Amino acid sequence: MTINGWLQIAIYFAILTALAALLGRFMARVFEGERTFLTPMLGPVERGFYRLAGVDETTEQSWIAYAVAMLVFNAAGFVLLYAILRLQDVLPLNPQGMSAMGPELAFNTAISFVSNTNWQNYGGESTLSYFSQMVGLTTQNFVSAATGVALLLAIIRGFSRASAKTVGNFWVDLTRTTLYVLMPLSILVGLFLVWQGVPQNMGAYVDATTLEGAKQTLSQGPAASQIAIKQLGTNGGGFWNANSAVPYENPTPLSNFIQVLSILLIPAALCVTFGRMVKDERQGWAIYAAMSVVFLACVAVSYWAEGSGNPLLHALGLSGGSMEGKEVRFGVTNSSLWSVATTAASNGSVNAMHDSLTPLGGMMALVLMQLSEVIFGGAGSGLYGMLLYVIVAVFVAGLMVGRTPEYLGKKIEAREVKFALLGILVLPLFILGFMSIATVAPFGVSSVQDAGPHGFSEIMYLYSSSVGNNGSAFGGFTGNTPWYNVTGGVSMLVGRYLMIIPVMAIAGALVAKKAAPASAGTFPTHGGLFVGLLVGVVLIVGGLTFFPALALGPIVEHLAMLAGQTF
């Protein structure tokens, strides 16, 4: 741990907060249909899309129609992506002659990208054609992120409207998010990355003869365009196998800074957008503050753990933080900051191998995914997940003082609390359920690389990442088996869609309610007391569920490491 390290972290957070304020306000204008500086250019494109699709942008949908539209769109996206992966050997833009992907792996991959998870049981440069990377994966990187944002807008309207029947138009929200937010930002970030050294070409792999005369094949491709949206859309799927650790994918400290900023930018900015849309920006900042408290605490623990290093290596005469699975240009600070940012957001890209992190560093990543990805979380999905916890928090506050809880002028009643708890509890059920089976079954443990508690952590990481729609991995683990492709795929589906249905039901229930004017007894939800309560609820409900499992994995491993034991 160094002063420079803490300074890099502090500057990162300060710039993130400043940009979140700017982008958040801009997005609020876009989503309310107001004019922005992009309207003259993109307005005609937007209207053209609606005309082609037969969408009337002034007609809104009930929560059920909105949810069904989303499901039909995502199902169509799944079918298209699955077909592309299965047929990539006969499709164009395949200079390396990659063969078609097998059915189980294509199923897992298609669900993975449609659900905004980007879990990868394959290595990009050794498996995928450029056509699959661009037309298949890049497209889903855009629209799965836009889907998450659209769903968030529906529940925000549940709070901001009173006595209404509709929550917006899914097609309009989807189109506006993609055209006005994701596309312009991706172009900026993408070109910045090319400038820093990320390839952007359609050429075949280049054979080099190294200085010592050995042959080295340098994989190429349209990488920068995909990497930009993989970060901005909280997707995280790497163009190359080792993701943003590969120098081509992330060549410099500056490219690293822009990427790790892009990871949290949209989820952070959506807090501000939320505040704007409910006509009280302080409400958004209160949620931002609660997320930041947990985020910064995890960064501090992770940086401390990685900076302190591995005593087993120190015993060999080495000093400093472990560099196994880390890159020199990023060092301990940027590897640890990234590992927390990418798991706080449901991004899942990595610039260091999480499997080789110290036990406590790896545990911070696990905990953030197990809190169901609400500390900033995915684009849209992080904040709607957090709003479930908000509902539980105001309910707990209401119980304490014996009043019907309210949030943003809406009474929170039994129906909303039940749905919120359903949305929160479905995740641990599947993480712990699948994990329990995999830990005792031979087809489960055969995929584990490391013996001892770390092997248990590897299984826990897979299901936490899949259900949380994160997509990062303890990469030593062999996920590409029938059991893990199928249960991993189911986990990603459940983590995404079983959470969405309660969220949309809450949106529908709230939007129909009358606005209740604030009174002297209303619990203020923009102050420090509320922030503290919300953090407490997240940690108690989300965190305690997994404490026994964490005790058997990373905590035992930490103690074993201190005692000098290897496995």
CB of 51 to another protein, least distance (A): 10
Query: How far is residue 38's CA from residue 40's CA, in Å, rounded to a whole number?
Result: 6
Residue selected from 40, 54, 97, 442 as contacting another protein according to rule CB under 8 A: 54
Size of the residue set binding another protein (CB under 8 A): 128
Interface with another protein, residue 8, by CB under 8 A = yes
Backbone angles phi, psi at 425, to 5 degrees: -85, -20
Query: How far is residue 226's CA from residue 120's CA, in Å, rounded to a whole number?
Result: 15
* Contact window for another protein (CB under 8 A) among 49-57, 291-299, 384-392, 511-519: 49-57
Three-state DSSP at 349 gives coil
Interface with another protein, residue 543, by CB under 8 A = no
Residue selected from 24, 148, 199, 495 as contacting another protein according to rule CB under 8 A: 199
Residue selected from 358, 447, 487, 491 as contacting another protein according to rule CB under 8 A: 358
* Contact window for another protein (CB under 8 A) among 29-37, 311-319, 381-389, 520-528: 311-319
445-464 binders of another protein (CB under 8 A): 449-454, 457-458
CB of 150 to another protein, least distance (A): 12
Interface with another protein, residue 547, by CB under 8 A = no
Query: How far is residue 411's CA from residue 395's CA, in Å, rounded to a whole number?
Result: 10
Interface with another protein, residue 18, by CB under 8 A = no
Task: Give one DSSP letter per residue of 450-505, joined into a string.
Answer: S-THHHHHHHHHHHHHHHTT-----TTS---SHHHHHHHHHHHHIIIIIHHHHHHH
Residue selected from 55, 152, 298, 427 as contacting another protein according to rule CB under 8 A: 55
Three-state DSSP at 318 gives coil
C-beta closer to another protein: residue 26 or 461: 461
CB of 278 to another protein, least distance (A): 28
Whether the CB-CB separation of 225 and 459 falls below 8 Å is answered with: no
Helix count and strand count (H, E) for the chain: 24, 4
150-179 binders of another protein (CB under 8 A): 171, 174-175, 178
Closest CA to 120 of 36, 296, 238, 263: 238
Residue selected from 160, 220, 469, 525 as contacting another protein according to rule CB under 8 A: 220
Residue selected from 3, 34, 90, 210 as contacting another protein according to rule CB under 8 A: 210
**92-123 exposure pattern, b = at least 16 Cβ within 10 A, e = fewer:** eebebebeebeebbbbbbbbbbbbbbbbbbbe
C-beta closer to another protein: residue 253 or 543: 253
Q: Is the dihedral of CA 137, 176, 265, 153 positive or negative?
A: negative
Closest CA to 338 of 100, 11, 12, 3: 12
CB of 265 to another protein, least distance (A): 17
Task: Give one DSSP letter per residue of 240-277, joined into a string.
Answer: STTGGGSTTTS-SHHHHHHHHHHHHHHHHHHHHHHHHH
* Contact window for another protein (CB under 8 A) among 28-36, 68-76, 515-523, 527-535: 68-76
Interface with another protein, residue 43, by CB under 8 A = no
Query: What's the token pair of residue 551?
Result: 């005790």
C-beta closer to another protein: residue 335 or 491: 335
Whether the CB-CB separation of 141 and 113 falls below 8 Å is answered with: yes
Query: How far is residue 557's CA from residue 567's CA, in Å, rounded to a whole number?
Result: 10
463-482 binders of another protein (CB under 8 A): 474-477
DSSP state letter for 532 = H
* Contact window for another protein (CB under 8 A) among 23-31, 184-192, 396-404, 415-423: 184-192
Interface with another protein, residue 59, by CB under 8 A = no
CB of 184 to another protein, least distance (A): 11
* Contact window for another protein (CB under 8 A) among 13-21, 35-43, 225-233, 543-551: 225-233
Question: How distant, in Å, are the alpha carbons of 152, 215, 272, 395, 505 from that of 418?
Answer: 19, 61, 27, 11, 11
- Pairing mode of beta strands 406-407, 206-209: unpaired
Distance of alpha carbon 11 from the chain centroid: 22
C-beta closer to another protein: residue 163 or 566: 566
90-149 binders of another protein (CB under 8 A): 123, 125-126, 134-136, 138-139, 141-143
Interface with another protein, residue 58, by CB under 8 A = no
Interface with another protein, residue 308, by CB under 8 A = no
Three-state SS letters, 352-387: CCHHHCCHHHHHHHHHHHHCCCCCCCCCCHHHHHHH
Query: How far is residue 534's CA from residue 411's CA, in Å, rounded to a whole number?
Result: 18
Residue selected from 116, 256, 292, 491 as contacting another protein according to rule CB under 8 A: 256
Interface with another protein, residue 439, by CB under 8 A = no
Residue selected from 37, 90, 163, 328 as contacting another protein according to rule CB under 8 A: 328
Interface with another protein, residue 350, by CB under 8 A = yes
Interface with another protein, residue 53, by CB under 8 A = yes
Interface with another protein, residue 379, by CB under 8 A = no
C-beta closer to another protein: residue 211 or 401: 211
Interface with another protein, residue 225, by CB under 8 A = yes
